[in-house]
């Protein structure tokens, strides 16, 4: 008996894999919770810091006084303006604090999104269904990277919308000093593209840890921490096409390199 098998091309395989991942990502509560958090966090930060602007807190033990300072501009929560002078300025340390408390925090949230999303495949046993019919592990890696990058991009967008709303509620100025609207768009684009740099890292950690969500989170946050300072440097408020290009190249290089490693991890290790 001669049985003929339909050719299962790369395009066909990717189409079905993306269908599965998109369905899962965009019907999952987790994604909408993360999106909600991304939207609400900038509103809370901007409104609360504005409300507490100028208030003084005293350390009862040392008697040291700390004056709370609000953001001077709405855009500070999106990023900072890169300038050579800033590095020699004495306010550089306080600028670093601003770097920590802004949109860049989403990259840690992204770690949770990628790790929970990926480890659910292994914890539920769904990976068995996937990999039985999917001889090519590359499909899985590419699809997960694309889906999580898109999901992460939407988180950035959510944060941006929240920022606009929060700035308006807090009555903060939307003045653009040292950059213009084009730069702001480039900055957001660069941040979205940087997601494509972080997703392959988190994905690799997730396929290494498989069912162990705690391990994938731990590894992802640790590696993410090392690369955290790269985000404000590559995506300042006065970003240009060069920044975007750098992020695209970074995304492609890291995505391909780490994707290949993830692929090998899946190929060489047991999936159940």
Partner 1 sequence: MNAIEIKGLTKNFKEKQALCGLDMTVPVGAIYGFIGENGSGKSTTEKIICGLIQKSSGSVKLFGKEHTDPDIRARLGVLIEAPGCFSNMSVWNNMMLQAANLDIHNAEQEVVKVLKLVRMEGAAGNKYKNCSLGMKQRIGIAMALLGNPTLLVLDEPINGLDADGMRIMREVLINIAKSGTTVVISSHILGELEKIATHYGIIRNGKMIKEMTAAELNADCRTYVALQTKDLSRTKAILSCKYSRVEEDEAGYIRVFDTVTPEEIVSYLYENGIVIKEIGTAKIGLEEYYIDLMEGK
Cα–Cα distance for residue pair 140/138, rounded to 1 Å:
5
Nearer to partner 1 by Cβ, of 163 and 262: the residue is 262
Residue 132 contacts partner 1 per CB under 8 A? yes
- Judge whether 196 and 145 are in contact, CB under 8 Å: yes
Kindly indicate which of the ranges 120-128, 164-172, 200-208, 251-259 contains the residues binding partner 1, using the contact rule CB under 8 A: 120-128
Nearer to partner 1 by Cβ, of 84 and 268: the residue is 268
Q: Which of 23, 68, 86, 256 binds partner 1 (CB under 8 A)?
A: 23
Nearer to partner 1 by Cβ, of 57 and 269: the residue is 269
For residue 247, which of 181, 185, 192, 180 has the smallest C-alpha distance?
A: 192
Q: Which of 124, 180, 256, 264 binds partner 1 (CB under 8 A)?
A: 124
For residue 73, which of 96, 98, 54 has the smallest C-alpha distance?
A: 98
**Tokens at residue 90, please?**
């004495």
Residue 13 contacts partner 1 per CB under 8 A? yes
For residue 265, which of 187, 212, 204 has the smallest C-alpha distance?
A: 204
Residue 32 contacts partner 1 per CB under 8 A? no
Nearer to partner 1 by Cβ, of 17 and 239: the residue is 17
How many CB atoms lie under 10 A from the CB of residue 235? Answer: 27
Q: How far apart are the first and last CA of the chain?
A: 33
Residue 272 contacts partner 1 per CB under 8 A? yes
Longest CA span, the chain: 89
Question: How many separate helices (H) and strands (E) can be counted in the chain?
Answer: 11, 2
**Minimal distance in Å, beta carbon 13 to partner 1?**
7
Q: Which of 33, 94, 185, 267 binds partner 1 (CB under 8 A)?
A: 267
Residues 6+ apart with CB under 8 A from 267: 137
Residue 136 contacts partner 1 per CB under 8 A? yes
Residue 3 contacts partner 1 per CB under 8 A? yes
Task: Give the residues lining the site for partner 1 (CB under 8 A).
Answer: 1-3, 5-8, 12-13, 15-17, 19-20, 23-24, 27, 120, 124-136, 267-272
């Amino acid at each position: 008996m001669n049985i003929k098998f339909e050719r299962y091309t790369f395009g066909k395989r990717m189409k079905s894999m993306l269908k599965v991942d998109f369905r899962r990502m965009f019907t999952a509560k987790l994604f909408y919770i993360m999106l909600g958090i991304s939207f609400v966090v900038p509103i809370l930060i901007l409104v609360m810091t504005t409300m507490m602007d100028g208030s003084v807190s005293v350390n009862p033990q040392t008697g040291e006084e700390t004056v709370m300072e609000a953001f001077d501009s709405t855009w500070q929560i999106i990023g900072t303006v890169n300038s050579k002078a800033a590095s020699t300025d004495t306010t550089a340390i306080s600028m670093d604090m601003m770097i920590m408390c802004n949109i860049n925090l989403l990259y840690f949230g992204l770690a949770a999104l990628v790790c929970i999303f990926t480890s659910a495949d292994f914890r539920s046993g769904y990976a068995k269904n996937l990999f039985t019919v999917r001889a090519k592990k590359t499909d899985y890696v590419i699809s997960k990277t694309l889906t999580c990058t898109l999901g992460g991009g939407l988180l950035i967008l959510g944060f941006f919308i929240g920022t606009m709303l929060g700035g308006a509620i807090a009555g903060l100025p939307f003045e653009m000093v040292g950059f213009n609207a084009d730069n702001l768009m480039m900055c957001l684009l660069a941040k979205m593209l940087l997601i494509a740099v972080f997703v392959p890292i988190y994905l690799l950690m997730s396929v290494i840890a498989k069912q162990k969500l705690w391990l994938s989170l731990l590894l992802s946050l640790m590696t993410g921490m090392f690369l955290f300072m790269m985000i404000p440097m590559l995506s300042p408020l006065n970003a240009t096409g060069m920044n975007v290009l750098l992020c695209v190249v970074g995304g492609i290089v890291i995505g391909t390199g780490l994707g290949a490693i993830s692929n090998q991890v899946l190929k060489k290790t047991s999936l159940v």
